[in-house]
Amino acid sequence: MCRRRCVAPAWRSTVLLLRAVSAALPPRFHALTLPLCSPRTHPRTLPRPLQSRIVNQGDGERNYHLFYMFWAILTDAEKAQLELYDPRYYRYTNQSGVYTVSQGGWDDAEEGTAWMSAMREIGVSEKDIMSVKQMITGILSLGNVEFVDKQTSAGDEATPTDPQWVGRAAKSFGVDVGAMQKCLVEQMRLIKGEVFYSQRDAKQAAFARDAISKTLYQMMFDWIVEVVAVSFDQGADSLPYIGLLDIFGFETFPKNDFEQLLINLANETLQGVFNDAVLKAEMDLYKEEQIHVEPIKFDANDKCVELLLGRPKGILCQLVAVAQAPQPNDLKFVAALHKMHEGNPFFPRPHPKDIRNTFIIKHFAAEVPYTAGSFIDKNNDEVPQDLLELCESFSHSFMIAEARAAGTGKKAKHVTITYAKQMTGLKDKLMSTQCNFVRCIKPNAQMKAGIFDRHYSVEQLRFLGVLNTCKVLKLGLPSRVNYEHVGEPLRAALPAALKAKFERYGPKKVTNAVLWAAEIPWDDYRLGRTLCFFRAGKIGQLDKIMKMNLNSAEGASFCARLEKWLIRERWKWSFALTCDMLASVWLLELIRKKPPMAKRLQGFFRMYLARKAYRAKRERVRQWQTCYLYMRMCKIWQDHYQYVHDNKEVMLLKQKEIKRKRLLLRLRGNVGDKKKETDGARKTEGREETDTDRKLKARIKSQLSKGSRHRRFIRQALEVAGAGDDSATISAIKELNLAIKAM
């Protein structure tokens, strides 16, 4: 069930990779004796790009090995019992015309026998192995079911052209033929708790057939992975581990579909992990070795990943949004992308004649045009309820269990939702570990030995991001060597007299002396704490030094420069020691000649301590003062509210008095003099009638029409006011105020 056109089983590749990792480890790790507890596998859903191979294969590819291995290992009696035919007779295995794998010594019979032995070894019963054979036979038979449209009054209805293939598939699955055919040609809809069935046409029925085949294979795949995972004696989660991740490469074809979008999304995400892991590790190494280099700048692909996975404007989110809208189709999806991402540098505009059904994404490797046509359909990952009910009636126990688990568990209805979560989780997992990368390329497309296609190999390196990484690392110090690998061999090769002079120096000093004696420019290398770093292409000078003949004229000159380096080194040491001694003597004399200076220093230091203590104390005092003022304010307001509460009657009388005064002012028109009235009225004898008096008369007259009560007081006030007696007017106003107050 390997997904690749590989030339060796997955376990063989794992062993080779483990050997390579072991050989690449530093020597200090080889002395460690760490026992291998057990392998562990994480059951994951078969990605949708890999599911598509079940029903469609490209040129030069064949379907999964399991479809061919059973034909190679089964006897004629078993083939007749299963009704299994040659792969050339099945549509799912004869599309590309490739039936065998000639490279790498792959043999279907040998690998099929090993697969059967492995299944028995992990505890799979013979009954379940037979169920797997029947499921493979049933899926192959189901792929041969073809449909034609039958004209009816309700429209076109799909009808199988050869019902015997439906019968063979139903027999392999152990279900009723009528139920199997109904699941193919009818679509069940659940609307407000009621079940409705609608007839499919031939195109829809063919799509349903392929969807059922992929779903059944997915269930079987999940069961096998789970069985393998359970069979392992897994250790505790806290144990250290080595994780192996095999990914598919970047893909671009003349016509790219939904599968290529998801595959390239995975590569885009992992390329971001590669950039962070490799380039960040490079900068961390420089920092650890205490080497100053310019920050490495590289073309980050974060914007492209955001274009694909961003919310809510990302391409995958838009695909889900269009799929959930009424009457979804791919043209609406493409139109929404062009409208939303117009002007995005990672979303170039295609040619006007292709813009209706094509969009382009600028990936880290190349610009890839995607042709929409079945994005909406392929993004639908919901297992129909009628298919689950059909699977529960299968004669295979593990299929019944998988169908029930799929029916009860929560699952996303769209492939992109699940895929995006898996990519995010995978990225977080990788970023939490120390990643090492193994980049694999094929020297030629024919997969033949002794042929190296330069253009084909360079294209793969570009798609893997290796060329871009090399350009970036070239700006730094990509070549590095340990001091022991340079200093010790050269120390041993030096003449006896010169070797004795270098005994006191370590490997780093010897390496520094060798590079200086060889007249290598300082810009070409840097000396770190434990490693010597070289610019790109400059480490060849070190090889030239290692191969130098010290007995030649060039070697004599080299040894002379080493002698000169020793003299310079001793002179530097003597000069530094002399400077230190002179500085000490100067400081001692300064202290002796100027004793007040020491006292001043002591005074400044004591002042500093006192000021520091005072500032700390002042800060504490200010905090206490702030707290005290806050408490006082709270106490004042508390006392105020307590006074108001205890003197409600007095406060009400004061409020009434204030209202009465305001009413008096309103009656007087709130104009003229507003001075407080005394006990005796002001004498106004001989005063002419003012505007205030006239306004007061008009206001009092207006009160006559507002009610019948207390009109006697109003008339009396008018008569008195007309006589011109101010004291009487004031008295009348008071009585009027009381009357209005009583109303």
How many CB atoms lie under 10 A from the CB of residue 451? Answer: 11
Question: Does one domain contain both 335 and 417?
Answer: no
Residue 569 belongs to a domain: yes
Q: Which pair of tokens denotes residue 7? A: 């030339």
Whether residues 410 and 536 fall in one domain = no
Q: What angle do CA 39, 45, 46 make, to 5 degrees?
A: 95
Q: How many independent structural domains does the chain possess?
A: 4
Backbone phi, psi, residue 189, to 5°: -125, 135
Name the residue range of residue 352's domain. 260-378+449-468
36 CB-side CA count, 13 A = 6
Burial per residue of 386-409, b for 16 or more beta-carbon CB atoms within 10 angstroms, e otherwise: bbbebbeebebebbeebbeebeee
Percentage of the chain modeled with pLDDT above 90? 6
What CATH number did the domain enclosing 330 receive? 1.20.58.530
CATH number at residue 206: 1.20.120.720
pTM greater than 0.85 (yes/no): no
DSSP per-residue string spanning 654-711: HHHHHHHHHHHHHHTTT-S--PPP-SSPPP-TTPPP-HHHHHHHHHHHHHHTT-STTH
User: Both 457 and 536 in a single domain?
Assistant: no
Each residue of 239-289: pLDDT tens digit? 677 777 777 677 888 888 888 888 888 888 888 888 877 777 777 888 888
**H-helix segments, 482-594:** 483-493, 496-501, 507-517, 540-546, 553-593
Tell me, yes or no, whether 614 lies in a domain. no
As given in the structure block, the two tokens for residue 606 are: 């004591």
CATH of the domain at 563: 1.20.5.4820
Beta strands per DSSP E along 104-211: 147-152, 155-160, 186-191, 194-199
pLDDT on residue 337: 92
Q: Own/partner pairs for 334-341, CB < 8 Å, 24+ apart?
A: 334/358, 334/359, 334/372, 340/313, 341/307, 341/313
CB 104 within 8 A of CB 8: yes
Q: What is the DSSP code string of 492-509? A: HHS-HHHHHHTTTS-HHH
Q: pLDDT tens digits, residue range 482-537?
A: 888 877 787 887 888 888 888 888 888 888 888 888 888 888 888 888 888 888 77
Model confidence band, residue 544 (pLDDT cutoffs 50, 70, 90): confident
Alpha helices (H) along 392-482: 397-408, 415-431, 454-463, 466-474
CB-count exposure of residue 126 (10 Å: 0-12, 13-18, 19+): exposed
Residues 223 and 91 in one domain: yes
Outline where 289-354 has alpha helix (H).
302-309, 315-324, 330-340
Residue 372 maps to a domain: yes
| Cα 78 from Cα 474, distance rounded (Å) | 61
CB 253 within 8 A of CB 425: no
DSSP string, 129-149: HHHHHHHHHHHHHHHT--EEE
SS3 80: helix
Closest CA to 147 of 139, 163, 159, 162: 159
Of 525, 542, 577, the domain-final residue: 577
Separation between Cα atoms, residue 612 and residue 606, nearest integer Å: 10
Residue 361 banded pLDDT, cuts 50, 70, 90? very high
Model pLDDT for residues 374-383, shown as the tens digit of each residue: 888 788 776 7
Average pLDDT over residues 403-428: 77
Confirm if 735 and 713 have CB atoms less than 8 A apart: yes
Residue 596 within a domain? no
Helix (H, G, I), strand (E, B) or coil at 370: strand
Both 461 and 484 in one domain: the answer is no
pLDDT band at residue 57 under the 50/70/90 scheme: confident
The CA distance from 484 to 538, in Å, is 19
Are 268 and 340 within one domain?
A: yes
- One domain, residues 317 and 397: no
Domain assignment of residue 738, yes or no: yes
322-338: burial string, b at 16+ Cβ within 10 Å, e else? bbeeeebbbebbbbbbe
